[in-house]
Chains A and B, each alone.
Chain A
């Protein structure tokens, strides 16, 4: 199984400042046949289901603000919130869908400093 490791577990950022979340996979999730990274990012607020933010490591879903972006390839990935807003307070998860079983990172809680 592919193990997904996120860091940090939590971070507190001032409004308007940058938040950066890291995700590392135990093996590459880059499919050579199509050059796609099988990596997604989700946002979860208390009492709500996860919401897909980013697919294919860097493709923003419809309606996701441009301040949220994904980057990385192979085994190392980053979710960046360029200018933190109050509505960004949540837990963020990465997930690999390269191979079954699909696996999630442990989550990163983002709070306002």
Chain B
């Protein structure tokens, strides 16, 4: 059974960089035809797909965040990460990591982690 778990600071100051890690267990981040993605959800609002990285390191990002976001794999730790620079209060949200078989639907999700941007 594949499991994903997000980790990282719950509070980030405005203009700083948000950094989150997703640890994968029950499967390898560099095997199979999977994409590893990040999705966020502001309180009381809908889901926003941020982007993803494939097992061979190819990335896709949402246009509105493309200049600020990096998603990467760390195969030695079986993890993937999200970095979002120059954050503002608008980036406050629950951040989820997920697995997409062949870049399709998300079949496994982490429990989510709340990141608040505030001074």
Contacts and interface: CB of A to CB of B under 8 A. Distances in A.
Interface of A: 1, 38, 40, 42, 44, 48-52, 55, 61, 93, 95, 97, 100-107
Q: Is the interface of A mostly helix, strand, loop or mixed?
A: loop
Contact of B105 (A95, A106, A107): A95
A38 B100 CA distance: 13
A100 to B, nearest CB: 4
A106 B109 contact: no
A55 to B, nearest CB: 5
Interface string B80-119: 0000000000000000101010011111011110000000
Contact of A55 (B48, B49, B60, B105): B105
Given A1-B63, A49-B110, A97-B100, A104 B105 contact: no
Given A38-B104, A52-B105, A100 B60 contact: yes
Contacts of A40: 104-106
Given A1-B63, A49-B111, A97 B47 contact: no
Contacts of A95: 47, 49, 105-106
Interface residues of B, number: 24
Nearest to A104: B47
A52 B63 CA distance: 25
Given A38-B104, A55-B104, A101 B60 contact: yes
B96 A104 contact: no
Given A1-B63, A97-B100, A101-B61, A52 B106 contact: yes
Given A38-B104, A44-B47, A49-B110, 6 more contacts: A49-B109, A49-B111, A52-B107, A55-B105, A101-B60, A102-B37
B62 interface: yes
A50 B111 CA distance: 9
Which of B37, B47, B103, B109 gathers the greatest number of chain A CB atoms within 10 Å?
B47
